[in-house]
Structure 1
Amino acid sequence: MTNNTVRIGLGLALLGLLIPFLAGAAAAEEPALGSLTGIIMVKGTRLPKPQLAVQLKDWNDENRTWGTVTDDQGAFTFENLSPGDYVLTVTDDLSEPFEATVTVRAGKPTRKNCYLQSLPGYEADEVTVIGKREPEVVSRQELKKEELTGVPGANNDPIRVLESLPGVAATSVMGFGNDGLVIRGTGPEDSGYKLNGLEIPQLFHFGGMNSIVNAELLQDIVYYPGAYSVKYGNALGGIVELTNREPRTDRLGGLVDLNTYATFMIFEGPLGKNASGAVGVRRSFIDFILPVVIPKDQAQFTLAPRFYDYQAIVNYHLGNDHLLQLFAFGSDDGMSIIDESDERKDPFSSDTFNIRVSWHQPGLAWTWTPNERVSNSLHVNYLYSDEEYEFGDNFTLKGKTSDIQFRDDFSVRLAKWNELRLGIDGDYGFGSIEANVPHAPREGEPGFDDASEETYHIDVTGDVFQPSFYVEDVMNPASWLNIVPGARVNYQAYLGKTSYDPRLSAKVFPWRGLTLKAATGLYHQWPSLDEYLKGYGNENLDTETAELYAGGAEYDFGEGWTVDLQGYYKRLYGMVVSGRDDEPVYTNDGQGKIHGVELLARKRLTDRFMGWVSYTYTVSRRKDNADADWRYFDQDQTHNFVVLASYILGAQKDWRLGAKFQFTSGLPYTDIRSALYNADTDSYIPVYDEQINGEREKPYHKLDIRIDKIWTFNSWQLTTYLDVQNVYWNKYPVGYEYNYDYTEKKAISFPAFMPTVGLQGRF
């Protein structure tokens, strides 16, 4: 072996030993790669921005760029990036340009969430509807959620905005009054209030200051002043239907609201892949505030009302065709009035006056939509109600009822121009009532005749079944015509009576923007439990009936400007009234006639301005029997005029200023002309004028203003608001206070000034 051969062999061996070390050194010199991930969201609301272009550019070399698109959850990812600085750019036509510098580190994932500031006028917001988007509906209006929550005088409650629309009488005093609405000359008890298609006991808490269901968890607020579908029954006035929305599915969120009179909080978010849930609770502060603001020289009592309510919703999607929803709603109202006057004595005079009403409504809903032609919606719930009333020392009423309510609505499109709808609804109720009370004065009866009014002791248990069936055909035989005939059959098992509701509506579209509409039909309502309860009422009563004729026109001028004019005539008969001396305690001898005109000229919120002018003219009269004279309805309000406007200020549209002026006619009342002395009770009994509701309160007017400011942070929003009702302190007349023998009286007015200051955090 030569020396050269040995040297070559040793060199090769040495090279083989060095190769692994050289490779490792080379690998060690090459830096590890990194990645960049994040989510594109709307600033403040954290709503994801799907299908949005995202660009990444090397800080040191502008020619090196990467691009991607966000997924359905707004997420993006860049892989295999060299360590260093990069410029992240997001472009969105609805948001301000976004650019940020990010540093990618070796071997570590880098995360950068981007919050886009929406351009003014393009805020992502829900739409809440007053009047469903159904072409066959004669009366409908649509309002954005931003319009609803910003209405002055509504105490930040979208449902109370209904009081500023045509057809609704302004009978509440700055939010205090009925637990329902006076719609087209009928009482609050004559209208239907629905939650997910099923009856709820009341629309507002005691005093009417806040709605019974928190509107933050609602998708639709549907208001029908009249001429509504055969889908709805057991009402002579209007219908208000509330439908809860689906909880958010992208992340955990919620809001907390604190204002002068109440506070509430809501939390919502996903519950797994196909489910989501929401829960909310609210409690009032009214029982702490009112005794302070009510002047003692105006109302000689201490008022202590309070309420709370709660809501819970769980949604579960079973594929694309089925949606299962579980929900629970509840409310508890209490009120105590402590009388501080010793001047006047009547059958209800005492030191205390207590009311407590609570109800709880769990239920479920199933919606099936196999295709675009067929849909079915089933709702079932259990309504438990517990009521206690105490009027002085001797008069009490306690009632507990349980109702199983149900409804099923089915629709099928038979042709492009024809859709058939049918369904059933009803309830089976059972419960008990224990009471020691006289017959309370009815509508049109000014008061008790004497202090020895007969008292009835009731201790009964019973049940009632009220099913109904409806069918209607929505036909569009031509592009300019819509016709909807329908019929409804109602049955009341306790009374053993059946009623029939045929109805017909039509809309004509003669040219673009103009709609002519007309409707007619029958509407029936069963008597209330106290009216037909054996031993207290008349178990032979029949249904009350309304015969309606309505028509109108609406025109869309474009760019959000619309005008809607409607007129109607309604005849009432079979109304339950107090019987005369030789008749049962209640009879169906009452009659009524109502006519009116409603105007709504409106500018929808398109950029910064929204508002409307609403005018309602109504004359509502009643006749208690064939021999009686016609008189005004207790809550007849001839004129109700509302002018409302709201304007959004600031470069980011984060300020809003609004005002509402309202003028209304006074309500009728029956004056006291003299009094009779009752030696047995050592008290005076008022003698009322023979002309019932012959007098009328003075007209009332007020100005409400509202200011909102939105503070937007990356992951939440803070809204501050000031809502002032009756800015110039005009006194609202609510009645008269008499001395012990009714020879003197003085007007009683409600607090003239009512501010609400609030904070709301949304995350």
Structure 2
Amino acid sequence: MKPLKYLVTLLLITMISNLNAQEKGDIKGIVIDKITKQPLPGTNVMVIGTKKGAATDIDGVFFIKNLEEDIYKIKINFIGYQSYIETEVRVIRNKTTYIEEIELIQSVISTEGVSVTVGTFQVDRRAPVSNYTYSREEIRRSPGAAGDIFRALGTLPGVSSSGGEFSAFSVRGGSPKENIILIDNIPFDKVSHFNGGSEEQDKQGGRFSIFAPNLIEEANFQAGGFSVKYGGKNAAFLDLKIKEGNNENMTLDGRLDVLGWELNYDGPSQFHRNTSIVISARHQDFTRILELIGQEEFGSPRFTDIIIKTTTNINPRNKISFLGIFAPEKFDRTTTDVFESDNFASIDLTDLDEGKTLIGLNWRILTGKSSFMKNSFYYRGNNRLVTIGRANPIINGTLPQSEKDIHKKYTVRQDYSEIEFGIKNDFTFAPNSQSTIIAGVEISHTNYDYKRTQFGLDTLYVFDQDDFRPDPSQKFIVSSPDFVNFEFDESKINLASYAEYSWTPREKISFNTGIRYEYNEFNKKNYFSPRLSAKYLLNERTILNFATGIYYQVYKLDVFNAGKANIILKNERAYHYVFGLVRYLRDDLKLTTESYYKHLDDLIVTNDRTSGIMSNTGDGWAAGIDLSLIKRFVGKFYGQISYSYAKSERDDNYGDGSYPSDFNQPHIFNILRGH
């Protein structure tokens, strides 16, 4: 019996051990050089608060096994590089948590005793001025954002949002349409649903992000003075990185409720061993919700978002990722909705159908031990068909008894599309730890197709004092189809190239100098944008920043829509001057102060809304100071306090003087705390 007893005991011990192992999870990741993207073999990776750790292999990959389900912080150390702490690494039992490419920054070998080494903040001396980074966990935890990166950005200094209704953001007095937005290195600014409405609402941007929660892996934001790598807009830039799929294990989840449905897949592709895939699909229909709360008068808004990203590691030197975004939306407001409104307060009719599409391919090649090339190929499209009109609920003084009694008249239809094919090539070479050279070329072919049709005569009761009226004493304008109907169909090429040299001649100081060239075939003009930035280390925890440069902004489809003569307009121009100070109070606590001045000229302004003619006569300025104190999630809590004072004015130079810009917001204060 004894052998049987020992066998049973051994089996029980084995089963308990397997059970305990199944209750634990693993961490896998890769460590690379931030500038050259080369893997860093031999990097030491430790899980803070445990005795667990690992070293990276020849491809920079590390694997840490058997961790209890929890949220961890891992510390990464490599000789000659700044130490870095990756916070909020979530381990789930029976799963392998994959950390995408932890990028380390080289330390400057110091002979003067000045070297910035801060754990939870990476100090990139090649970054022009203050920049902010949000991780996926930080976006998820941001109070009130509900996982929406654009609402989360509203807590940053210099950034103002329009409250809970809108998902867009404005920066330092600029319009939301003046921000550069990149999705995996591809320009794409159609990132929200239901843009527009009234004239004022159109300026605010969209209401719902096209990105479901937990889809953005990282967001990098800079409010001004940015590098020559970025152009086409003159306010700020936001670089969003869609998360890569976990090639170790699969996660599938979904949701079904009164609002709609959602389905997410994250895991191996099943068709290629070295390919991972992320699929995010959702549909939201607010019609039923509005009915339940008695607000059906607002109409029927609904949208769908389908986002797919695949990542393939062909070999250690070649990495390819594919990105597809399809985001249609539909909104209609009919006579049924007008009938439900209180006292027929709103009589607007709308039938909107819009689709946003992005298809992109990124190919990164490690061309040498200290260089890499990134090629991006993309197609992006935006198709929009909207018909607007008005209902007349009162006929001969009689109120309608049902929606069938309401007379309706559709007045204007707008049908337009914007299609662009583009190629981007970026090359980075770091001959030594003191120098970096980057250069790039961008080519895009854009087609604008627009048609505006008015059905019969229309009477307008909203106009500016300078709008043309045959009889100035009239308090209305009669609009004729002959005056409104318009077609525009043009295809042109836009070119851009840039070069930048980053140099650290001494341990305390570093410079970035570069120039960007842009050609706009629509107006057939060439533009050169020189830019300069510098950093000076006062001591091991204090840095002074400076940046200046010229930034040009390409006008968009709405300028063409107003009138074909507007095609000759020049690009708008901005001069940036930025001064800042960064103080690392602790490894997890950073204080930033930044002052700025922006001079704007060649601004496009409307001469007469009835004719649609525009000109480059406008100018303006913006100035202010941004303060922020950021506490990273080390210990029991994280938080942020920020304050911005700003003033922004414009002048159309029509003799009426200057006025505050539409997004002038003198005081912005935010406080955030989480556990």
Q: TM-score, normalised by structure 1?
A: 0.65
Q: 2:639 aligns with which of 594, 611, 619?
A: 611
Match of 2:518 in 1: 490
Q: 1:234 aligns with which of 213, 228, 232?
A: 232
Question: Judging changes above 3 Å, is the alpha-carbon distance between structure 1 residues 290 and 266 closer, same or farther for their aligned structure 2 residues?
Answer: same
Structure-1 separation of matches of 2:351 and 2:641:
40
Match of 1:88 in 2: none
Match of 1:321 in 2: 317
Deviation of 1:634 (Å)? 1.7
Match of 1:464 in 2: 492
Listed as ranges, the matches of 1:440-459 within 5 Å are 450-453=476-479, 455-459=483-487
Q: 1:302 aligns with which of 298, 304, 328?
A: 298
Instruction: Give the letter aligned to residue 549 of structure 2.
Output: G
Q: Specify every segment of 5 or more residues in structure 2 that has no aligned partner in the other structure, as ranges.
A: 1-6, 30-45, 53-64, 75-87, 91-98, 104-119, 196-205, 390-409, 469-474
Structure-1 separation of matches of 2:461 and 2:603:
15
Q: What whole-Å deviation, never above 9, does each CA across 1:33-71 have from its counterpart, x for those lacking one?
A: 999799899978844579xxxxxxxxxxxxxxxxxxxxx
Match of 1:185 in 2: 173
Match of 2:352 in 1: 355
Structure-2 separation of matches of 1:408 and 1:439:
51
1:124 is aligned to 2:76: no
1:389 is aligned to 2:386: yes
What SS does the corresponding residue of 1:148 show, helix, strand or coil?
helix
CA contact (8 A) 2:251 2:267 kept: yes
Match of 2:190 in 1: 202
CA contact (8 A) 2:133 2:218 kept: no
1:538 is aligned to 2:566: yes
Structure-1 separation of matches of 2:276 and 2:543:
41
Structure-1 separation of matches of 2:150 and 2:361:
23
CA contact (8 A) 1:597 1:617 kept: yes
Match of 2:117 in 1: none
CA contact (8 A) 1:42 1:116 kept: no
Instruction: Give the letter aligned to residue 461 of structure 1.
Output: D
Give the paired residue count: 553
Identity across matched positions, percent? 21
Structure-2 separation of matches of 1:606 and 1:446:
58
Instruction: Give the letter aligned to residue 509 of structure 1.
Output: L
Structure-2 separation of matches of 1:633 and 1:443:
19
CA contact (8 A) 1:223 1:239 kept: yes
Structure-2 separation of matches of 1:444 and 1:188:
24
Deviation of 1:279 (Å)? 1.2
1:593 is aligned to 2:589: no
Q: What whole-Å deviation, never above 9, does each CA across 1:114-166 have from its counterpart, x for those lacking one?
A: 77334776763458999996432212123443332112111232442101111
Structure-1 separation of matches of 2:244 and 2:355:
26
Structure-2 separation of matches of 1:439 and 1:95:
73
Match of 1:644 in 2: 672
CA contact (8 A) 2:459 2:477 kept: no
Structure-1 separation of matches of 2:463 and 2:303:
27
Listed as ranges, the matches of 1:63-462 within 5 Å are 116-118=68-70, 124-125=89-90, 134-137=124-127, 138-171=129-162, 173-174=163-164, 176-177=165-166, 180-206=168-194, 208-214=206-212, 216-256=214-254, 263-271=261-269, 272-290=272-290, 292-293=292-293, 301-337=297-333, 338-339=337-338, 350-392=347-389, 393-436=410-453, 450-453=476-479, 455-462=483-490
CA contact (8 A) 2:514 2:531 kept: yes
Q: What whole-Å deviation, never above 9, does each CA across 1:472-495 have from its counterpart, x for those lacking one?
A: 111111221111011101111121
- Segment drifting more, 392-401 vs 144-153: 144-153
Match of 2:399 in 1: none
- Segment drifting more, 524-533 vs 325-334: 524-533
Question: Judging changes above 3 Å, is the alpha-carbon distance between structure 1 residues 463 and 642 closer, same or farther for their aligned structure 2 residues?
Answer: same
Question: Judging changes above 3 Å, is the alpha-carbon distance between structure 1 residues 581 and 366 closer, same or farther for their aligned structure 2 residues?
Answer: closer
CA RMSD of aligned residues (A): 3.9
Question: Judging changes above 3 Å, is the alpha-carbon distance between structure 1 residues 623 and 44 closer, same or farther for their aligned structure 2 residues?
Answer: farther
Structure-2 separation of matches of 1:537 and 1:115:
66
CA contact (8 A) 2:47 2:73 kept: no
Instruction: Give the letter aligned to residue 525 of structure 1.
Output: Q
Structure-1 separation of matches of 2:529 and 2:21:
50
> If you compute each CA radius of gyration, which structure gives the higher value, 1 or 2?
1
Deviation of 1:579 (Å)? 2.0
Question: Judging changes above 3 Å, is the alpha-carbon distance between structure 1 residues 131 and 92 closer, same or farther for their aligned structure 2 residues?
Answer: closer
What SS does the corresponding residue of 1:236 show, helix, strand or coil?
coil
Structure-2 separation of matches of 1:260 and 1:131:
42
Question: Judging changes above 3 Å, is the alpha-carbon distance between structure 1 residues 295 and 283 closer, same or farther for their aligned structure 2 residues?
Answer: closer
Match of 1:66 in 2: none
Structure-1 separation of matches of 2:453 and 2:212:
35
What SS does the corresponding residue of 1:614 show, helix, strand or coil?
strand
Instruction: Give the letter aligned to residue 152 of structure 1.
Output: P
CA contact (8 A) 1:185 1:636 kept: yes
Q: TM-score, normalised by structure 2?
A: 0.73
What SS does the corresponding residue of 2:325 show, helix, strand or coil?
strand
Instruction: Give the letter aligned to residue 485 of structure 2.
Output: H
